[in-house]
A and B are shown apart, each in its own frame.
Chain A
Amino acid sequence: MESRDVIMERVRAALGRKLGQKPLPPPEPLLRVSHQSPAAKLARFELRFLGTVTVVADWTFVAAAVEKLLDGKTAVASGHPYLRACGIAEVTGVSANPEDLRNGCATAGVGITSAYCLLAETGTIVLRASPEEPRLVSLLPPVHIAVVPQDRLLTNLDEMLSMTPRPVDADSSAMVLITGPSRTGDIEQFLVRGVHGPGEVHVVIVQGKTPPL
């Protein structure tokens, strides 16, 4: 007998259940969704986020804000259409959606992405893997910058989960919630940032109308 059948048989025997017997419906989780004003959410996000938050009045200020954050460092940007529309590719030092993505991410000083959404309550950046938003851009470089329109700012994880009951699906293999920099306390509980992922995280929140895509 294959292990699958062995285990399934053990499980059913342990529970006294028969093959095909229906389950009861699961208890409901607690989804704490409270709708807050954009200003309240922004204030909350700024308070909670463990990095700098730059708020710009509209998309035309994004390139300048990113350039300032880069401070002369080289950067790799994902191919997200929002970044392109904001003119990230034209910023000095930025290589947008490079041919050799892996090497580009491994050597760049900064990785620039957009985001699926932001969570105000925990100061979290939510990324969803896609052809335009690869996984390594926010992971390999020592600094991560996320450029996100303010309408993607949600109250909390629970709101995100009620909006997106399937975080991964046929279109996306990964969702990552990023809450602050990479950190470790494994030696004497002494906090060190950037042990494997980015040690610095910045968010540029873009207000105003969406840029022409």
Chain B
Amino acid sequence: MSAPETAIRKTLADANLQLAIYNNTGRFKENRRRAVAPDQLPEYEDLRTRAAAIKRHTLSFLDVYLLQLESAVEDSGGKVIWASTGEEAADFIVKLAKEREANLIVKSKSMTSEEIHLNDRLAHHELEAVETDLGEYILQLAGQRPFHIVAPAIHMTRNDVADIFTEKLGIEHDTVIENQAMTARRVLREKFLSAGIGITGANFLLADSGAVVIVENEGNARLTHSAPKVHVAIAGIEKVIPRARDLAVFLDLLGRSASGQALTSYTSIVTGPRRQGELDGPEEFYLVLLDAGRTKLLADPEQRESLQCIRCGACLNACPVYRKIGGHNYPWVYSGPIGKVITPSFQGKEKDTWLPFASSLCGACAEVCPVKIDIPGLLLKLRKELVTANPADRSAFQVWAWLMRRPGMYALAARIGRSLMGFNIGPLAAWRSERDLPAAPRKSFRELWKERKK
């Protein structure tokens, strides 16, 4: 068995974990369904179409919008840092932290920073970067990566959290969830008020205002961008949208698709350092724009639309595969259907070649996607590329094509195939270990047809 297969079997055999994934994703899924239903949001389909069109448009003219964004950020007194790799992004933050003598950094949830392993890189330079989203904080203490792009710790129970807090914070074992949340509030509040730098991600970047938009429920992102003297926002270049007014479309979709909320508790639209006379807010603002593989996707006309993703997580909750195997069995930080689509382009298509095939192509992901990414279609294209690149697969399909053009040979091969259906030999045995075949009919369709015509 391959390594992923062993891990997946372990997940499938863990009854508690199965229940946690099933319940959590199920609740998200149901909340989303209700929030976008016609009685709640009659314009839902129109909004999706517009969101997809605006994203597609922005990506087609990304060069223009990035420059517009940059000049708007600079107009508001901030600075744009361009990072072609994750390493460059981390190097900038390390240098900034050293210069500002900021050894403590608070962070709000950012998949982009997970993607470039920012915390590890900062720790390497003896900088303490503390995750402040409750789920992310628990995971950081436990040394795990997010299980889900929106709800990172859905695989954990209150007992797990109590164990982790006792071990890492040295506090008494307490399984009351309210108390656990208040412990996090107490510990992290101190960090917010003493940190020198706050790092956030971005849900959207507004080209016309040079602003970063951050959507959250806890308030940790607000604290991160408002309490420390320096705010660094890190975002992929694909996060830009043309105008603040476009939020009318995207905010209507993001919260509803992610958790069924019309608006999450907090939506922050921020840019630049505090303005003249403002009594709080950061004194310095940096926007780190990250490529790290995004231009590769942009250059691939078959896969470009995956850059439209707004990371709502709806496809994870809808996916029958994700709902069984969970987030940690995917090879990269982005899990679920969208992870399956973007991982090969970012990490190399020759790696984890099983990934695009681990799907039934049921289409549930595309159905719930608020920006209409055709995930099953993209998976099929990836499969095609992999099959064409693999000599064994290619010859198998060549043989198939040859047979299909020769009815006599096809009939013969079908007869042989039918007689083999009862046996478990060679590669067939492995394939059949997971699947039941119907009993082989005595006669083929073609034979029956011939008889009837008589």
Contact = CB atoms under 8 A, between A and B. Distances in A.
Interface in A125-175: 129-131, 134-136, 139, 157-158, 161-162, 165-175
B343 interface: no
A39 interface: no
B279 A134 contact: yes
A161 B54 contact: no
A41 to B, nearest CB: 16
Given A29-B54, A139-B226, A197 B61 contact: no
A37 interface: no
Contact of A186 (B54, B135, B246): B135
A195 B132 CA distance: 10
Interface stretch (A11-19, A62-70, A85-93): A11-19
B154 interface: yes
Contacts of B261: 179
A110 B53 CA distance: 44
B136 to A, nearest CB: 8
A212 interface: no
Contacts of B264: 179
Given A177-B267, A197-B222, A23 B211 contact: no
Q: How many A residues are at the interface, by size bracket? A: 35 or more
B134 interface: yes
Interface stretch (B2-10, B247-255, B432-440, B443-451): B247-255
A47 to B, nearest CB: 13
B5 to A, nearest CB: 29
Contact of A11 (B20, B66, B243, B277): B66
A30 B208 CA distance: 17
B133 interface: yes
Contacts of A130: 275, 277-278
A26 B24 contact: no
Contact of B61 (A23, A157, A171, A195): A23
Contacts of B60: 15, 23-24
A46 interface: no
Contact of A165 (B75, B134, B157, B243): B243
A161 B247 contact: yes
A187 B180 contact: yes
Contact of A121 (B152, B246, B262): B262
B418 to A, nearest CB: 50
A107 to B, nearest CB: 11
Q: How many B residues are at the interface, by size bracket? A: 35 or more
B58 to A, nearest CB: 7
Contacts of A22: 64
A184 B223 contact: no
Interface stretch (B82-90, B195-203, B420-428): B82-90
Given A15-B63, A170-B76, A135 B281 contact: yes
A3 B82 contact: yes
A106 interface: yes
B269 A136 contact: no
Interface in A87-119: 101-102, 106
A14 B301 CA distance: 9
A135 to B, nearest CB: 4
Contacts of A165: 208, 243-245
Contacts of B57: 24, 26-27
Interface in A30-85: 30-32
A165 to B, nearest CB: 6
A166 B393 CA distance: 55
A198 B242 CA distance: 33
A178 B266 contact: yes
B273 to A, nearest CB: 7
A4 interface: yes
Given A30-B248, A168-B271, A180-B265, A7 B217 contact: no
A172 B184 CA distance: 31
A10 B177 contact: no
Interface in B296-318: 298-299
B157 A188 contact: yes
Contacts of A122: 262-263
Interface in B82-127: 82-84, 88
Contacts of A10: 84, 291, 295, 298-299
B368 interface: no
Contact of A187 (B153, B211, B271): B153
B71 to A, nearest CB: 12
Nearest to B80: A4
Contacts of B218: 182-184, 195-197
B156 interface: yes
A164 B83 CA distance: 32
A172 to B, nearest CB: 6
B289 interface: yes
A192 B263 CA distance: 18
B63 A17 contact: yes
Contacts of B396: none
A129 B274 CA distance: 9
Contact of A192 (B50, B53, B178, B269): B178
A19 B64 CA distance: 9
A8 B291 CA distance: 10
13 contacts: A10-B84, A10-B291, A13-B299, A26-B243, A27-B57, A106-B193, A124-B263, A139-B222, A161-B244, A169-B209, A171-B275, A182-B219, A196-B185
Given A29-B248, A135-B280, 6 more contacts: A121-B262, A131-B279, A183-B265, A184-B134, A195-B185, A197-B223
The 6 A-B residue pairs whose C-beta atoms are closest, nearest first, are A197-B219, A131-B277, A14-B299, A23-B61, A186-B135, A196-B219
Interface of A: 2-4, 6-8, 10-15, 17, 19, 22-24, 26-32, 101-102, 106, 121-122, 124, 129-131, 134-136, 139, 157-158, 161-162, 165-190, 192, 194-198
